Structure 1
Amino acid sequence: METHNFRNLKVWQLSVDFVTAIYQLTTLFPNDEKFGLSSQIKRSVVSIPSNIAEGSGRGSNKEFARFLSISLASSYELETQLIVADRLNFLAETIVQEIIRKLHEIQKMIFSLHKKFESQISS
């Protein structure tokens, strides 16, 4: 049984930093969105590093890969919510584009790590 130290994973570190950035951005949303889209965005973004961490402690590469998949799905959910926020003009389009660019970097890292563990499972 192998465990992984999530704190050493660059993708976890970047996604925790990303949580902070997203939380700061949601303060720009209208007050009536506090329990709406803003809340949903916060849940999605926190889910990304949380699932990486949880998966790392599950004790098998198969379980870790499963939680990486959940983390990736949360990132896609977040991307959709950011697009909705953009269409509702809660944020400037240039800000949303930059945030989504950073999110795509995190998605690529999660996908690569997931692929690595999936290939180890099949070997």
Structure 2
Amino acid sequence: MVLRASAGSLVVHDIASSIATDVIRQVRTFRSSERSTLGDQLIRAAVSVPANIAEGCGRGTITDFRRFLLYARGSAQEVLSLLQVARRSGLGRRETIVALENRTALVLKMIVRLYDHPPPDR
């Protein structure tokens, strides 16, 4: 089955992109030693979520779309785990980290829902 949805038409892509942007801003507040270790890994994982959603859309089939949603889900799980480590380590602003955790958990739910119910063929 052909997929004709674009990443820009998916709310989950917009939220994931927003999280990635906010993660980059938050990592800038980390101490320099954590910026180059935990921070770099957190940024890579956060950027990977919307990138995988977009790549899945670009592949053009439901099968490929679902495969890339699984990659995005794995990256989102990694983001959530790294945010928890950052919060527990006292890195960044606690309120911001908690908000990012909550938004990432929402994205995870949205990815699962999208996997089960891909966009209609348009």
| TM-score normalised to structure 2 length | 0.89
Q: Which residue in the other structure is 1:77 paired with?
A: 78
Q: Let me know the Cα RMSD of the aligned residues.
A: 1.5
Measured against aligned partners, the alpha-carbon deviations of 1:15-62 in whole angstroms (never above 9, x if no partner) come to 111111111111110011232000000000000000000000112101
Deviates more, 1:69-78 or 1:87-96: 87-96
| TM-score normalised to structure 1 length | 0.89
1:47 touches 1:71 (CA, 8 Å); kept in 2? yes
Measured against aligned partners, the alpha-carbon deviations of 1:38-91 in whole angstroms (never above 9, x if no partner) come to 000000000000000000011210110010011011000011101111121113
CA distance in 2, matches of 1:2, 1:9: 13
In the alignment of these two chains, the number of paired residues is 118
Q: Which residue in the other structure is 1:29 paired with?
A: 30
Q: Identity over aligned residues, as a percent?
A: 28
Q: Give structure 1 stretches of 5+ with no counterpart.
A: none
Q: Which residue in the other structure is 1:9 paired with?
A: 10
Higher relative contact order (CA 8 A, sep 6+): 2
